[in-house]
């Protein structure tokens, strides 16, 4: 029996990472859990995000996962180190892979970061970028409207364009960056709108590809890559509306996604986090 890889997110955004993981690791089985009922995580306190993340992690640990991918920037910022120190399986987030990709593409070392309030306030991206290259200059902008519009399926049209234009105006006015990190895994779903608003001269970076590459390298190092040629049977779970989740998922994947069920996450004792 294939041992699966767990992927968690605050909602549907992590599907952008899951799709890239499935593309680069086609033999692996993935179990995805999106906490759509309590999305977005960005405005929530660090304590809440940590509690919710641990609830998702404990649910997936019962399914004997061999690796955990935190496909949520806010959860990565607040819980990655703790999970890596606590769990006995490899745990990777999306922030460091995204930072590395941005540095690779930037020509003038001026990088923009957009994300949820929590991710921006944590300064996780500036810290990750400067730890690699101290000459990097970072302009960050919280974009609270983006996650709700993605979760609601407002992905195109005049209303979506207006929201994106108004939200990105402060960053666009700075006019110095040549690279923009989508510091939330929901944002690649509206990447075309963001690219259109920022202009073609801006390199827009999402962390999915680099995160998948890192997962592959870590599995190879641990000799845990799947060799079974049998078609993997992925599992998708949500804590919220199944039909909404399925609608966004089917728009993002090349084939219909089978959402197994609504999940009611158990309370986690405070001693667990």
Compute the C-alpha angle 88/270/78, nearest 5°: 60
Strands ordered across the beta sheet of 137-142: 137-142, 110-115, 179-183, 203-205
The answer to whether the annotation marks 216 as part of a ligand binding site is no
Of the residues 94, 102, 141, 184, only one is catalytic, namely 184
Token pair, residue 251, equals: 């728009």
Is 184 assigned a catalytic role?
yes
Query: Which stretch of DSSP H or E encloses residue 148?
Result: helix 146-151
Tell me how crowded residue 75 is: count the other CB atoms within 10 A of its CB.
Answer: 29
Token pair, residue 86, equals: 């606590």
Query: Which stretch of DSSP H or E encloses residue 261?
Result: strand 259-262
The answer to whether the annotation marks 185 as part of a ligand binding site is yes
The answer to whether the annotation marks 119 as part of a ligand binding site is no
> From CA 210, how far away is CA 76, in angstroms rounded?
15
Closest by CA to 74, choosing from 97, 100, 50, 107, is 50
Tell me how crowded residue 159 is: count the other CB atoms within 10 A of its CB.
Answer: 10
The answer to whether the annotation marks 238 as part of a ligand binding site is no
Of the residues 72, 124, 128, 268, only one is catalytic, namely 72
The answer to whether the annotation marks 42 as part of a ligand binding site is yes
The answer to whether the annotation marks 9 as part of a ligand binding site is yes
The answer to whether the annotation marks 186 as part of a ligand binding site is yes
The answer to whether the annotation marks 73 as part of a ligand binding site is yes
> From CA 190, how far away is CA 248, in angstroms rounded?
12
Is 143 assigned a catalytic role?
no
Q: Do residues 96 and 102 make contact, with C-beta atoms less than 8 angstroms apart? A: no
Binding residues: 9-10, 41-42, 73-74, 185-186
The catalytic site residues sit at 72, 184
Binding residues for substrate: 9-10, 41-42, 73-74, 185-186
């Amino acid at each position: 029996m294939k041992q699966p890889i767990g992927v968690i997110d605050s909602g549907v955004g992590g599907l952008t990472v899951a799709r890239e993981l499935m593309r680069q690791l086609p033999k692996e089985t993935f179990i995805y859990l999106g906490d759509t009922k309590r999305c977005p995580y960005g405005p929530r306190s660090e304590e809440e995000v940590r509690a919710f993340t641990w609830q998702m992690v404990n649910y997936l640990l019962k399914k004997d996962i061999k690796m955990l991918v935190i496909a949520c920037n806010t959860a990565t910022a607040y819980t990655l180190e703790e999970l890596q120190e606590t769990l006995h399986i490899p745990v990777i987030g999306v922030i460091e892979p995204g930072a590395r990709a941005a540095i690779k593409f930037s020509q003038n070392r001026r990088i923009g970061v957009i994300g949820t309030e929590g991710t921006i306030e944590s300064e996780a991206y500036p810290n990750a970028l400067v730890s690699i290259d101290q000459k990097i200059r970072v302009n960050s902008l919280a974009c609270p409207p983006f996650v709700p519009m993605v979760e609601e399926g407002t992905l195109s049209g005049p209303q979506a364009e207006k929201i994106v234009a108004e939200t990105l105006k402060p960053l666009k006015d700075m006019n110095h960056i040549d690279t923009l990190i989508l510091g939330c895994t929901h944002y690649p779903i509206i990447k075309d709108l963001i690219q259109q608003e920022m202009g073609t001269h801006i390199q827009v970076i999402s962390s999915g590809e680099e995160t998948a590459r890192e997962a592959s390298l870590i599995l190879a190092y641990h000799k845990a890559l799947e060799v079974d040629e049998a078609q993997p049977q992925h599992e998708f779970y949500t804590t919220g509306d199944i039909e909404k989740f399925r609608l966004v998922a089917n728009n993002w994947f090349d084939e219909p996604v089978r959402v197994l069920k609504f999940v009611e996450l158990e309370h986690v004792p405070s001693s667990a986090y």
